[in-house]
Amino acid sequence: MFGAKTMTKRKSYTLGDIVTRFGGELIGNAKVRVSQVAALESARATDISFVSRPQFLAQLAHTRASAVILGAALR
């Protein structure tokens, strides 16, 4: 149909599934579901984000991401 939006359902994964597949340590609820990776400042409750450098740690207080991946040195 012309002009109709096609809605696609995004696949989501539990944090437990992600840690099982890729390794790491999970601190928190393994049943939390995330559907995409997003930047800390634009993340929503269905997103996972990451911090790669110490200067971004302050943004953790303001992110809406359900989960954040940190390297061992930043933990």
pLDDT digits (tens, 9 = 90+) for 40-51: 999 999 999 999
pLDDT digits (tens, 9 = 90+) for 11-34: 999 999 999 999 999 999 999 999
Q: Cα(70)–Cα(25) distance, rounded to whole angstroms?
A: 10
Q: What is the residue type of 72?
A: A
Percent of the chain, pLDDT > 70?
89
Residue partners of 18: CB distance under 8 A and separation at least 6: 34, 48
Percent of the chain, pLDDT > 90?
79
